[in-house]
Amino acid sequence: MKLWQKDTTVHQKIEDFTVGKDRELDLELAKYDIQGSLAHIQMLESIQLLTFDELQALQKVLKKIYQTVEQGQFIIEDGIEDVHSQVELMATRALGDIGKKIHAGRSRNDQVLVDLRLFFRAELQSIVEKAIILFEVLQNLSEQHKEVLMPGYTHLQVAMVSSFGMWFGAYAEALTDDLQLIQGIYKIINQNPLGSAAGYGSSFPLNRKMTTDLLGFDDLCYNSIHAQLGRGKSELNVAFGIAGLAHTISKLAMDVTLFTNQNYGFIAFPDELTTGSSIMPHKKNPDVFELIRGKCNLLMALPQNVMLMTSSLPSGYHRDFQLLKETVFPAIEDLKNVLDIAAFALGQIQINTDILKDKKYKYLYTVEVVNQQVLTGIPFRDAYKAVGQSVQNGTFQFEGIIEHSHEGSLGNLCTAAIRRKLDGILTEFHFKKHIRKIAELVKGE
């Protein structure tokens, strides 16, 4: 069954090529397609395109189909082109001509647009929730190890004294930046395209504000062409959010693999979190973090992949958009898996508390000595030169204590402030609103 088919039968080779992986990937959209249809038919009844009895009959059938999706029993049958066709077919089988009425006032174009926005909205919520778990792990580690010193590096050379508290806290705060970006993306996604039809509106007197409210969207995509322009752009925005988080986690994974190296020896993990070698009995490889790094590096290429598929297209719908699902859907799943495993593994990290006892780190303290001299009234450039000379002639010594007090320094990690930053970002997500609205829409009799 095809919603567009008339009397001509499409050649099987053409059918196989054009459908591609759409039937498989559309299973991800099934619940959202039904949510959109439930909102749409309520609106159709409000403008007298359905009677109240027809609405009730359709609601009963669609909610029953929804339950099969929730129970993992929904399938797209052989010969059925996509999820939209399958849902309409099931409604028509159950109700005859009444089932054929659910498509009035919409096109598959705005139908898939609303499905995707509902899907992306839910997936962004899942990503945010998993990122928060990783944030909590990092924040707890930052507080737990704030007194444990470690070397800081620039140019991969020993530079200044750092701490594990500062290192963990840095990545926690980096996640707040990533979630700030995702917050903006969520706001863009959380606008309703339903009712824009094929991109040029409809001659039916649709009540688009009604479907916006029913689906828990914050606002409308008002201009119908603009709504259609959202295909590809929505995927690109989501891709930027994925890439931002992947960038942070990739760098963290690189640090971890470096710091577990025996030449560093800063951190370790329980044996059961590492893998071995087929010929070297001593090996304990950080494969988990190497794979995290690799997956995240691939995820950082996602925006470019989306842009390459869509940048040369004019306005309006094009079948090229179908291919975006094959790229973006697996990327979302990969990111969620990366967030899960990173939080799990880091929760079991083991810290070396005696790193700086090694003599090779003695010059970490040169800046401390320079600053101590400056505090006595010596000009900075003179103090810098004097300490540099002591390094050159081998007489440098540091016998003081580390005293850093400014915001974000060793002695003042501002953990509570970073948490407040996150809390402020989270208040701008309207997850509770859309969860409540969807629950009202799909609830049983």
Q: Tell me the C-alpha distance between 44 and 41, whole Å.
A: 5
Are residues 302 and 185 part of one domain? yes
Closest to 442 (Cα-Cα) out of 62, 55, 54, 11:
62
Which is it for strands 219-220 and 191-192: parallel, antiparallel or unpaired?
Answer: parallel
pLDDT at position 312, please? 86
Q: Which residues does residue 154 pair with via DSSP β-bridges, in sequence order?
A: 157
Query: Is pLDDT at 46 greater than 90 in this prediction?
Result: yes
Q: Is 53 inside a domain boundary?
A: yes
Q: What percent of the chain has pLDDT over 70?
A: 94
Provide the domain count of the chain: 2
Q: Tell me the C-alpha distance between 351 and 260, whole Å.
A: 10
Per-chain mean pLDDT for the chain: 93
pLDDT digits (tens, 9 = 90+) for 379-436: 999 999 999 999 999 999 998 788 899 999 999 999 999 999 999 999 999 999 999 9
Helix 302-310 with 224-260: angle, nearest 10 deg: 150
Burial class (CB in 10 A: 0-12, 13-18, 19+), 210: middle
Q: How many CB atoms lie within 10 A of CB 402?
A: 14
pLDDT at position 17, please? 60
Are residues 97 and 120 part of one domain? no
Cβ contact 62:34 at 8 Å: yes
Are residues 294 and 171 part of one domain? yes
pLDDT at position 19, please? 60
Query: Is pLDDT at 99 greater than 60 in this prediction?
Result: yes
pLDDT digits (tens, 9 = 90+) for 104-117: 999 999 999 999 99
The CATH code of the domain that includes 301 is 1.20.200.10
pLDDT digits (tens, 9 = 90+) for 249-283: 999 999 999 999 999 999 999 998 888 766 877 77
Q: Is 227 inside a domain boundary?
A: yes
pLDDT at position 283, please? 76
Domain containing 79: what range? 12-104
Distance (Å) of CA 137 to CA 149, 174, 343: 19, 14, 6
Q: Tell me the C-alpha distance between 145 and 387, whole Å.
A: 30
pLDDT at position 20, please? 61
Q: Is 405 inside a domain boundary?
A: no
Where does the pLDDT of residue 10 fall: very low under 50, low under 70, confident under 90, or very high at 90 and above? low
Window from 55-64, 72-81, 137-146 with minimum mean pLDDT: 72-81
Token pair for 274: 């590492």
DSSP 311-376: TT--SS--GGGGGHHHHHHHHHHHHHHHHHHHHHHHTT-EE-TTGGGSGGGGGGGHHHHHHHHHHT
Cβ contact 211:43 at 8 Å: yes
The residue type found at 395 is T
Are residues 176 and 56 part of one domain? no
Query: Is pLDDT at 81 greater than 90 in this prediction?
Result: no
The CATH code of the domain that includes 20 is 1.10.275.10
Are residues 301 and 226 part of one domain? yes
Are residues 122 and 84 part of one domain? no
DSSP 220: E
Q: Is 209 inside a domain boundary?
A: no
Are residues 318 and 236 part of one domain? yes
Where does the pLDDT of residue 4 fall: very low under 50, low under 70, confident under 90, or very high at 90 and above? very low
pLDDT at position 79, please? 83
pLDDT at position 5, please? 54
| Averaged pLDDT for residues 36-59 | 98
| Averaged pLDDT for residues 4-29 | 67
| Averaged pLDDT for residues 355-378 | 93
How much is the pTM?
0.93
pLDDT at position 275, please? 81
Are residues 170 and 62 part of one domain? no
Are residues 290 and 180 part of one domain? yes
DSSP 271: G
**Exposure string for 379-393, b = 16+ CB within 10 A, e = fewer:** eeeebbeebeeeeee
